[in-house]
Chains A and B, each alone.
Chain A
Amino acid sequence: QKEVEQNSGPLSVPEGAIASLNCTYSDRGSQSFFWYRQYSGKSPELIMSIYSNGDKEDGRFTAQLNKASQYVSLLIRDSQPSDSATYLCAVQYNNNDMRFGAGTRLTVKP
């Protein structure tokens, strides 16, 4: 069974703080990892992709991947109220199989 696990939250952080979102996956054959952001009533939007161990930074976002621990995380620095959304972790096993976690709801309080 290919599973992707996330804490459902809600995760609440004050404006300007660092939000840390975590995800674990079950299949060691996983190749690609993604973070999507979904605002209420909208479809998911790709914000980060990561394929190799280590950190990948893009603006205020940093994705971290540890394949040995089967763990991927997303850090959001200087969190803004506009970052309030549900963040979905996605794990791709091959081009035909991408699995999503249940999502973590993040609230950034002004």
Chain B
Amino acid sequence: GAVVSQHPSRVICKSGTSVKIECRSLDFQATTMFWYRQFPKQSLMLMATSNEGSKATYEQGVEKDKFLINHASLTLSTLTVTSAHPEDSSFYICSASAGPEAFFGQGTRLTVV
């Protein structure tokens, strides 16, 4: 399958700071990227869907101003968690799609202390 790279894989930050997570499609151009959050032993929760060059579509209950998504090119999308708090600690995963199939990045485990 296609390769999606997500960076960093782990990050620890202080409460109140911002964290940026990158998602890159390495061998294909991703027209759509998805951002998910997953708490321990729970299912994937879709946070937002983004298309290159346009604003992301956020799921109900996800704060747009807190989770900033930028999809500036067909191979790169970024998620910035602004003013992070301990309750934002979670596993954040991106996936990228150029057609029906979507491929996942490795995930980023965020811990806010």
Q: How far is the CB of B26 from chain A (nearest CB, A)?
A: 15
Whether A102 pairs with B32 at a CB distance below 8 angstroms is no
Q: Does B58 contact A (CB under 8 A)?
A: no
Q: In the complex where A43-B107, A45-B104, A88-B44 touch, is A98 in contact with B1 (Cβ < 8 A)?
A: no
Whether B101 pairs with A46 at a CB distance below 8 angstroms is yes
Whether B105 pairs with A43 at a CB distance below 8 angstroms is yes
Complex interface: chain B residues within 8 A of A88 (CB): 43-44
The contact string, 1 if C-beta is below 8 Å from chain A, for chain B 82-113, is 00000000010101010111111111000000
Whether B100 pairs with A43 at a CB distance below 8 angstroms is no
Whether A44 pairs with B44 at a CB distance below 8 angstroms is yes
Q: Does A42 contact B (CB under 8 A)?
A: yes
- For chains A and B in complex, what number of residue pairs have CB atoms within 8 angstroms? 56
Q: Does A26 contact B (CB under 8 A)?
A: no
Whether A95 pairs with B43 at a CB distance below 8 angstroms is no
Q: In the complex where A43-B93, A43-B106, A102-B43 touch, is A96 in contact with B101 (Cβ < 8 A)?
A: no
Complex interface: chain A residues within 8 A of B74 (CB): none
Q: How far is the CB of A54 from chain B (nearest CB, A)?
A: 17
Q: Does B46 contact A (CB under 8 A)?
A: yes
Q: Does A32 contact B (CB under 8 A)?
A: yes
Complex interface: chain A residues within 8 A of B91 (CB): 41
Q: How far is the CB of A26 from chain B (nearest CB, A)?
A: 16
> Whole-angstrom distance between the alpha carbons of A88 and B57 in the complex?
23
Whether A97 pairs with B107 at a CB distance below 8 angstroms is no
Report B's interface with A, CB cutoff 8 A. 1, 6, 31-32, 34, 42-44, 46, 49, 51, 57, 91, 93, 95, 97, 99-107
